[in-house]
Structure 1
């Protein structure tokens, strides 16, 4: 939310203060007073009227106070507040020749292009696990329009990818019987970032081993979001003459928490890319039919005590429309579905989807469990499921 020359509004300010230990003292529609926990001395004024003539001035004064209290500069505080609802993925290109914060034009072009390619490939894998996408799903192509690039930063050469993040605790409650289409659209960005992090982590692990990955391991990596296109996006940057290595750092939103099991940072040098290219070659020729991935809420449960499986309905977005997808789950997964339903925990389901227009949507399930991309915001005591 941009107000005048301040890149945030009251919602961002209040969320940032909450996660950094501040609490409200008093206030109303115009302004609020907040106090830092454990200190009776530090109190700041939070402007609450974005349309007020002095909002930008009061917001800058607040930033200056927070910078002084936190012993950081104003820019650091401004960036932290403005990105509190976002995940920021930093792509860092390194080379001995990059000394003044600049980069050769060809290498810079590949870095920016790869930012798009990495994101779109990850979006495609978020919707469908497939070794080689000859045609991306339309929703994946739209990722290039949904996310933003921040200003480049020094430190070799850093390009930040900014995408939305939102805690599921803010949007789903126990017993909720339908999804919110707008919320699901917002959560898609976080799911893409989680897919990207896991897939790059798997690639880094395969590239750093003492042997080449086996064909079976390469096929298994597809289930984690690795694809030919993702590998190529990495290779094109590091194979540039002006780049020795590419490091990717995931700065997760502080209001949505990091998805469990995701690496915060991964890195690829020329030796690693040699392995990545071998994986890429196998994925390009891998005969793999692909599996759909859906995300949503368990809304229907049906099982007779003597049945070996239970009937489960998951409401999800299919081609951006809300539909109930039916599936039969064995005992352990059915009980997990019951738990997710009772606790209001979003789920992720992977398998073969059949969704005829106007007909009943169904899925033959390969993997079922709580949505791992939102795991950091699940209710206390919720179950977990190893992502596949």
Structure 2
């Protein structure tokens, strides 16, 4: 069996500059390509009783015309008519085309997580996806197919297509593939910039392009238990009904990105550190022991990444009285330092430059 349909073969021929020139009867089609020597091909129609046998014969003829083999033609047909995601891991321990069993299992399992993260992002951008996925995402995962592995270090292929009964107005598989490309490109750019600056705020741009903690986790686990392998993800949206095939997108994550992927995942899980952060806000709570002159204040503010939090700040004996005055008079305060954020808390480490703003001073 060819594992491709007549519709897919027709779509493939169209992208390769073949054209349908005649239909002698209800059971056969004649296709021709001026650019190929002997470029005439007979295709069965859906009405042909032995269409599967005839389709295989057509593929053999096409392989002969293109000086190729049937398996390669089928691979090309699927690449151009389905949404293909290929995941390649490279390291000397997989150069022979094999991979440790445990890592191979993880590679296949996290391929599903990668597609799931992109499909969720196609519906709604979020830093973390939890719980039961939407019905459209579940249907896409159920219809996705794992292709045969190929040589080249170690490579697996995932073919994404919409389920047969899909009634959505959009080609969700194609949209998911393109969102995945956007998310991977945005994440790689953010990782490279973070490597230079150490500023986690850079991951916000990747979030808007579809990156998430789920995506980061999947890529990290592709690299193996020791996180030593280079991960290369290539993808292409199907080319059917397009004027030209979509260019293949290739994104590579070297082992040096592994520590930064963990930081990005923690950031998306709302566990991160904002370096050299300056906050401005209202003192909403004071907390100190009776026998102490210093204490902790909580400042309601909006962080530089747009998140609204109440930040705990430890003030010394010289600053705390000013915080009391600001609290009683509802004045704004300003303080700088590194802010550690978790899902439940936000606190500033080694605060400096605490000051109180007057009624109009902030706008000067």
TM-score over 0.5 for the pair: yes
Counterpart residue number, 2:16: 20
Is 1:30 paired with 2:15? no
Distance in 1, Cα, partners of 2:142 & 2:236: 20
Counterpart residue number, 1:285: 270
Q: Deviations over 1:257-278 (max 9, x none)?
A: 5999987000112111221211
Higher relative contact order (CA 8 A, sep 6+): 1
Counterpart residue number, 2:83: 87
2:99 counterpart SS class = coil
Contact 1:198-1:263 within 8 A present in 2 as well:
no
Q: 1:261 to 1:228 in 2, by over 3 A?
A: farther
Shift of 1:247: 0.6
Distance in 1, Cα, partners of 2:80 & 2:128: 35
Q: 2:111 aligns with which of 112, 115, 119?
A: 115
Shift of 1:208: 2.8
Q: 1:196 aligns with which of 180, 187, 191?
A: 180
Counterpart residue number, 1:266: 251
Distance in 2, Cα, partners of 1:6 & 1:253: 19
Contact 1:23-1:37 within 8 A present in 2 as well:
no
Is 1:207 paired with 2:191? yes
Q: 1:127 to 1:248 in 2, by over 3 A?
A: same
Distance in 2, Cα, partners of 1:45 & 1:260: 24
Shift of 1:227: 0.8
What runs of 5+ residues in structure 2 fail to find an aligned partner? Answer: 273-364
Distance in 2, Cα, partners of 1:81 & 1:125: 28
Distance in 2, Cα, partners of 1:217 & 1:11: 44
Write the mapping of 1:40-119 to structure 2, written as runs, cut at 5 A.
41-49=38-46, 52-53=49-50, 55-119=51-115
Number of corresponding residues: 268
Alignment TM-score, normalising by the size of structure 1: 0.62
Counterpart residue number, 2:316: none
Contact 2:217-2:265 within 8 A present in 1 as well:
yes
Give RMSD over aligned pairs: 3.0
Contact 1:46-1:59 within 8 A present in 2 as well:
yes
Write the mapping of 1:359-374 to structure 2, written as runs, cut at 5 A.
none
Q: 1:221 to 1:41 in 2, by over 3 A?
A: closer
